[in-house]
Amino acid sequence: MLRIGVFSKLSNVSIRMLRHYDEIGLLVPCQIDEISGYRYYSAAQLETISKIQRLKDLGFSLAVIKEMVYQQDIQGVEHFFEVRRLEIEEELERIKKQSMLLDEVKDIMKKDNAMNYHVIHKILPDIKVISVRKKVPSFYNEQDLWNELYSQISKQNVKLKTPIHAMAMYHDKEYKDRDVDLEVAMQVESMMDPIDDVKVYQTGEIEVASITFHGSYEQMPLVTQAVGNWTEMNGYELDGKMINIFHVSPAQEKNEENWITEACFLIERRGR
């Protein structure tokens, strides 16, 4: 028999942790002295604690380890390993994405130090557009609206204005992470009748604060910060709505470094 202190040294597991294992039924001492309360372990339990520690190192929870260590069915044990393998693969993918995001954010922060976003006060001209406007689950569903618009343009042989003028309009006046009021539109040569969920209309002139930037949309927080500062300094208020005009879009260019986007924020004179 090995007293808990000796067992702790031989197994490289603290007494505190051994007591915790006892409390949860993961590794119960083979004997407890009724008078002194000393816990005693058998030499055979060194093999069990070694398995427990190896499984912990592999990322298994103590609850799962408890099932695995005392599992008699080898197929049941293999199932736990397969599940953990899938979890590790998912974790690796998540870490890979985080690593890529680290590089993107680092580049953006470098650019932030070297780049001044130039805000332009302008009036967007009155143009004829064909558009689809819907409430979608999130911003990530924007492509669904583009697909619907492209489909109708192709079916109806709509004549688009050249160069292509495509834009997305975000109508909500506050941030929403669901039920987003989103519209995608393209400029057309002439008016035509509405088609299903697609409508054709004149936009009218729109007063905006505009920033044209190159590259990834990860820059948007910096763009909005620049616009916020500009409106505060120049006596304007943001309406809440915004428009992205895609001069070079992901549909035209796969390399995000070549994307050119004009972010337009609807404004009005403060106190108007």
Contact 152, 188 (CB under 8 A): no
The tens-digit pLDDT sequence of the chain (272 residues) is 888 989 999 999 999 999 999 999 999 999 988 888 888 999 999 999 999 999 999 999 999 999 998 887 888 889 999 999 999 999 999 999 888 888 777 776 666 544 578 999 999 999 999 999 999 999 889 999 999 999 988 888 888 988 888 999 999 988 888 899 999 999 998 777 777 789 999 999 999 999 999 998 888 888 998 999 999 999 999 988 999 999 999 988 999 999 999 999 999 988 76
Beta-strand relationship, 120-124 and 166-170: unpaired
Q: Give the dihedral sign, CA 249/255/256/260.
A: negative
In a domain, 26, yes or no: yes
| pLDDT score recorded for residue 111 | 60
**Closest C-alpha to 8, from 150, 22, 185, 206:** 22
Same-domain check for residues 183 and 262: yes
In a domain, 76, yes or no: no
Contact 203, 264 (CB under 8 A): no
Q: How many domains does the chain have?
A: 3
Same-domain check for residues 223 and 143: yes
Same-domain check for residues 211 and 261: yes
52 is in which domain, residue-wise? 2-70
CATH number of the domain that 42 lies in? 1.10.1660.10
In a domain, 75, yes or no: no
Report pTM: 0.59
| pLDDT score recorded for residue 115 | 55
| pLDDT score recorded for residue 104 | 75
Same-domain check for residues 201 and 227: yes
Contact 144, 136 (CB under 8 A): yes
d(CA 88, CA 84): 6
Same-domain check for residues 165 and 235: yes
Phi-psi region of 120 (alpha: psi -120 to 50; beta: other; left: phi over 0): beta
Same-domain check for residues 45 and 100: no
Same-domain check for residues 126 and 106: no
Contact 236, 270 (CB under 8 A): yes
